[in-house]
Chain A
Amino acid sequence: MNKYFKKLAIPYFVWLYVLAIIPFVIMVILSFVNNEGLDFSKAIFTLDNFGYLTTSSTVIAFMNSLFYAVIATLTCIVIGYMVAYAIFRSHFKNKFLVMTILILPMWSNMLLRIEALKNIMEPHNIITDILSKLGIHVSLDIAGTPLAVIIGLISTYIPFMILSIYTALEKIDYSLEEAALDLGLTETKKFWKVIFPLSTKGIVSGSIMVFLPCMSGFAIPEILGQGNILLIGNVIDQHFRNMNYNLGSLLAVVILIIILGAIFLVSKFDKEGETLL
């Protein structure tokens, strides 16, 4: 590559160093020391922080995170696949437009969406008001429950799943379907033997994109769980708020390592690296 073009990436690299790599190094250091806030002058090297990892509250938060992330991802796979497949099979002239409409919510502020969702989940909100004016008395009273958190996670992250599965489906050569029919497969068998295996890459990449933010996010459980549900993201959030940077950093680093491990596993599984693109 021409060396002059390399310079074009410099602004981004500066950005990356200042806002990602340096903070990460500081976080790693923080997890090995004991100090007050960000004052390193009295820092003492210690491994005591690691003991915190095995306390029951941390373990429960970890397990909670894992549980919610797995449930949300699996549900996203099922619903997302059905939606992506329906669009793939539809006869819309402009399928891209349909996809854009589905993904449109992603472009609005996430917190705003979550707050709106919380509002609908409370016993009294604008919709129940309107309905009761019409004589219909129903209310959805699930705010603060695990169900609310799961619904929040799914509705926030499912567009990623739909998009990546749809992309995988679009890539399947139509002549492969004809070949399967020609070789004697029924429509159902054709789906399971040809289309589904060829779309698994989309499922894997969609799953990463759903699972990781579900695992580490804290806004959705905080708002929709109303403090009843504690995920690992919330624990980190609390530590940082209480100026306990050492434990917060440690947990954040551990999560980062888990995420990197997951990506490494996927890249092993998919050698061409198509999943992550």
Chain B
Amino acid sequence: MKKVLIDLKDIVKTFDGQTIVNHLNLQIYENEFLTLLGPSGCGKTTTLRMIAGFEKPEAGVIIIDGKIVNDLPPYARPVNTVFQRYALFPHLNVIENIVFGLKNSSYASKLMFYGEDNLIKEAQDKYPNKKITKHLLNKLINEKIYQDAEYAIKLVNLQGLEYRKINQLSGGQMQRVALARAIINRPKILLLDEPLAALDLKLRQNMHYELKEMQRRLGITFIFVTHDQEEAMTMSDRIVVMNDGVIQQLGTPKEIYNEPVNRFVADFIGESNIIRGKYIKENEIEVLNKRIPCVGYKFAENEIVDVVIRPEDWDVVSLDKAVFVGKVISSIFKGVHYEIIAKVEDVELIIHTYEEVKVNDQIGLKVDPYEIHLMRVAQDE
């Protein structure tokens, strides 16, 4: 049983009468990489900002590590944030930015952070003939802070840039400074607000790997906000898909991709063909006027359902083996595959295939039963 670190209970947040987060319930476990995924304006950033303490919910409770933190200011929460535009201090250099949080905390909290008993013992070992004074401990703490900073700099690969000015760094380097500045405080939770949005594709892909690796090594909870589904897929242990302030689906990347619960999730996560169909009986559906087998879904007999088939799950076959026959409307080379739009029974389907097909060709199509995903039709449709 994993330990719940953050518990959001029935959170409501409105701005100017507009509901941004609508009765949100979410439990976040210790040591997991959770991604809040959704289009802009879906409430994901607001949710993150409420956890950080920059916004206050109108209703509901936020529990972090067993404590209700609704009224705690940001500086009193065991949380650190990596901001979207980094928010590095322009008047400080790289290392000063990194030590900023630790250095400016009170003496009491510094003692707590490094453990008072440990510090005294270390001071006695180091200066056996000296009386342990506040001054001496402060000196020791300062040394430790800079050691930690060096470690953090190594962790984010910024060696040699310690004394650079912030405005002399590239976007990727600023990103790393922001990361180091947050993790040096050893937060229980690291909040990342679209931190990769400003980086180019190659750098972004590297950072995916590095972030995941860092999270595993540090053993802290990462809450990551993004609108990029690929980013979410690569890094997350669990993904929360949000829209209009409501959680649409919560699950592992695999579950979200293969078994989207509704049209929104299916549409948002990757490309997909969503076709109206009918659940005939167990393991059989009717779609595009053909009866085909499927596996593993339970609906009422003859219920209308949404059938989801991913573009890459279609098999293009010769006409004699085909279940469906379509006419190619467009065919675009996308590097690895061709993206084909084909019309079958007046429905346009997106199909990914490795072989080239010509526009206006007739093609045969087939889909394996286990690739078919069925969804209940939403009430308001």
Contact = CB atoms under 8 A, between A and B. Distances in A.
Interface stretch (A2-10, A74-82, A178-186): A178-186
A189 B101 CA distance: 11
A160 to B, nearest CB: 23
Given A181-B75, A183-B181, A185-B75, A197 B91 contact: yes
Q: Is the interface of A mostly helix, strand, loop or mixed?
A: helix
A247 to B, nearest CB: 46
Contact of B83 (A178, A194, A198): A178
A181 B100 CA distance: 11
B35 interface: no
Contact of A193 (B54, B74, B84, B104): B104
B31 interface: no
A193 B101 CA distance: 11
Residue with the greatest number of chain A CB neighbours at <10 A, chosen from B91, B105, B181: B91
B6 to A, nearest CB: 16
Interface in A156-185: 173, 175-176, 178-185
Nearest to B90: A198
Contact of A184 (B75, B83, B89, B90): B75
B79 A182 contact: yes
Given A183-B185, A189-B104, A176 B74 contact: no
B85 A175 contact: yes
A253 B241 CA distance: 72
Given A178-B54, A179-B81, A184 B109 contact: yes
A194 B54 CA distance: 18
Interface in A250-268: none
Central interface residue in B75, B80, B81, by most chain A CB within 10 Å: B75
Contacts of A173: 85, 87
Nearest to B101: A183
Given A175-B87, A176-B89, A194-B89, A182 B104 contact: no
B52 interface: yes
B369 interface: no
B219 interface: no
B74 A182 contact: yes
Contacts of B41: none
B233 to A, nearest CB: 28
B75 A178 contact: no
Given A183-B181, A184-B185, A178 B91 contact: no
Interface in B239-284: none
Given A184-B109, A185-B101, A189-B104, A178 B87 contact: yes
Interface string A33-77: 000000000000000000000000000000000000000000000
B209 to A, nearest CB: 26
Nearest to B79: A182
Interface in B82-110: 83-85, 87-91, 100-101, 104-105, 109
A179 B105 contact: no
Interface in A75-115: none
A186 B88 CA distance: 18
5 contacts: A176-B89, A182-B182, A184-B105, A184-B185, A185-B104
Interface of B: 52-54, 73-75, 79-81, 83-85, 87-91, 100-101, 104-105, 109, 181-182, 185
List of 7 A-B pairs having minimum Cβ-Cβ separation, nearest first:
A183-B101, A175-B87, A179-B87, A181-B74, A184-B75, A182-B81, A197-B91
Given A181-B53, A182-B182, A185-B101, 8 more contacts: A175-B87, A178-B87, A179-B83, A181-B74, A182-B74, A183-B185, A185-B75, A193-B100
